Amino acid sequence: MNVNMQEEQLLSAWSVLTSEAQDMIKRAVMVASQAHQGAVRRSGEPFVEHPLAVALIVVQMGLDAEVICAAILYDVVEDAGYSLLALHTQFGATVAHLVDAVTVPEAEVLPRYLLHTIASHKLLQAMETDRRAGWLKLADRLRNMRTLGDLRPDEQQMIALETLTFYVPLARHLEATEIERELETLAHDFLRETLMVTGSTL
């Protein structure tokens, strides 16, 4: 699915948006497309397709234009070197706050489990002022779990365990029952597969 088709899906799925909100989403798609130009995921898909897919999940959650834009833009800070100040200037304080809430801190020397702990604490703090940050992070994790097969078995196992220990309880806390069930099912499925590869059992 190309970027234009995903943009059309975003706007058609949220047809009640004001023209101003639709314009903001279009600008967000443009910024993300330029920031991720030429970048690809391990699956071979253009990198920008991931945040657009996350934004579609956000739409399905019934969230507003600010969260949709944050979903489209959060990876431009984390992976493309875009600044939060630039996002604040172009899209407002709320979008910048939501993006910051789900951005993993830069620390190449730290192990993944410690980064996850820091990022989780940061997210929970942000949720004290805006619970939508939690929904945005759930949408991102749900999309990552749906495409987890693109990663190595050891990475699948680590991410599945993270999902069970943090994201499933987060979904339960937000009363996102369907997301909780899907995340839990996907995590258990990947854990079974990876443990079978190593000859272990659940």
Among the listed residues 79, 155, 184, 189, the single catalytic one is 79
Half-sphere exposure of 72 (CA within 13 A, CB side): 29
Phi, psi of 39 (to 5 degrees): -85, 140
Beta-bridge partners for 40:
46
DSSP tag of 106: P
Q: How far apart are alpha carbons 146 and 198 in whole angstroms?
A: 22
- Catalytic: 79? yes
Q: How far apart are alpha carbons 139 and 13 in whole angstroms?
A: 16
- Catalytic: 180? no
Among the listed residues 45, 78, 100, 155, the single catalytic one is 78
DSSP string, 141-173: HHHHHHTGGGS-HHHHHHHHHHIIIIIHHHHHH
Q: Which residue has the tokens 């909100």?
A: 21
Phi, psi of 40 (to 5 degrees): -130, 155
In this structure, the number of other CB atoms found within 10 A of the CB of residue 160 comes to 22
Question: Where in the sequence numbering do the catalytic residues fall?
Answer: 78-79
